[in-house]
Structure 1
Amino acid sequence: MSVRLLNLRPVPEDEAEEIRQLLTEKGFDFYETPAGRWGISSPGLWLRDQDRLSEAKAALESYQQERCQRVRAEYEELRQSGLHRTWADVIFESPLRLIFYVLVIGFILYLSIIPFLGFGG
């Protein structure tokens, strides 16, 4: 019976591709379920052989630890060279989006507070 190995919803595409490659290299028989047309289904990787689940989880755990160390080292290298992405970069990339969000938040706050401002008068 098949057993779910990994939920792919929070997984970036590059990491998912590396995991697929890892499972193929290790000889695991697996298949993938997509998120569906509207993205409401849960995408995942399923292992066909339930007996190899612990072996697959161990390989996945080892990969995730290696990836974590690699990504942290890459980020630290970018941070030390001054090339990492900051909040200022995000704001300058799309200032109109920031203005829109601030206006929407202000409007929601206004609608939330206005009933209470009228009670005193």
Structure 2
Amino acid sequence: MAKLLLDLRHVPGDEADDVRVFLDAAGIGYYETRPNRWGITAGGIWIADDGEHPRARELMDAYQATRRERARAEYAAARSEGRLPGLGAQFRDDPLRVVGILAAIAFVAGLAALPYFLLR
């Protein structure tokens, strides 16, 4: 019976391609299910043979560890170079959106605190 290796919901295309490449390189048989028309399932990459699943899982864990480290290094580099937008930059780019989000946060916090003040 097949086992799911990777649910493709919210998975970037390059990551799915990398998974296909390392499965092919390791000689692990797999197949893919595509997302359905209504968005209920997102598709996935399945390992065809149960006996290959532990080895595929080890390869997947190693791949995700290297991808995580690469992403963290890219984030740290962008942060140190000042390429990440902070709250000030977002406010300059779209002040109405930032004010709207802050107002929504204050509204929800007020609704959450309302019972406390009414029951006091």
TM-score calculated relative to the size of structure 1: 0.71
**TM-aligned CA distance change 1:84 to 1:98, over 3 Å:** closer
Shift of 1:52: 0.6
Say if 2:35 is the partner of 1:6.
no
Measured in 1, the distance between the counterparts of 2:21 and 2:84 equals 28
Cα offsets for 1:42-98 (capped at 9, x unmatched): 321101111110000000000001111111001101110111243455555556666
Query: Which residue identity is paired with 1:54?
Result: P
Shift of 1:26: 1.5
**TM-aligned CA distance change 1:77 to 1:8, over 3 Å:** same
Q: How does 1:1-121 map to 2 (within 5 A)?
A: 1-90=1-90
Percent of paired sites with the same residue? 36
Query: Which residue identity is paired with 1:35?
Result: P
Match of 1:69, SS state, is: helix
Measured in 2, the distance between the counterparts of 1:34 and 1:5 equals 14
Shift of 1:13: 2.2
Of 67-76 and 84-93, deviating more is 84-93
| Structure 1 residues not aligned, in runs of 5+ | 109-121
Q: Which residue of 2 aligns with 1:112?
A: none
Aligned residues: 120
Measured in 1, the distance between the counterparts of 2:68 and 2:19 equals 13
User: How well do the aligned residues superpose, as a CA RMSD in angstroms?
Assistant: 3.0
Query: Which residue identity is paired with 2:73?
Result: A
Measured in 2, the distance between the counterparts of 1:78 and 1:101 equals 25
Measured in 2, the distance between the counterparts of 1:43 and 1:54 equals 21
Match of 1:38, SS state, is: coil
Match of 2:84, SS state, is: coil
Of 61-70 and 26-35, deviating more is 26-35
Query: Which residue identity is paired with 1:84?
Result: L
Measured in 1, the distance between the counterparts of 2:56 and 2:27 equals 10
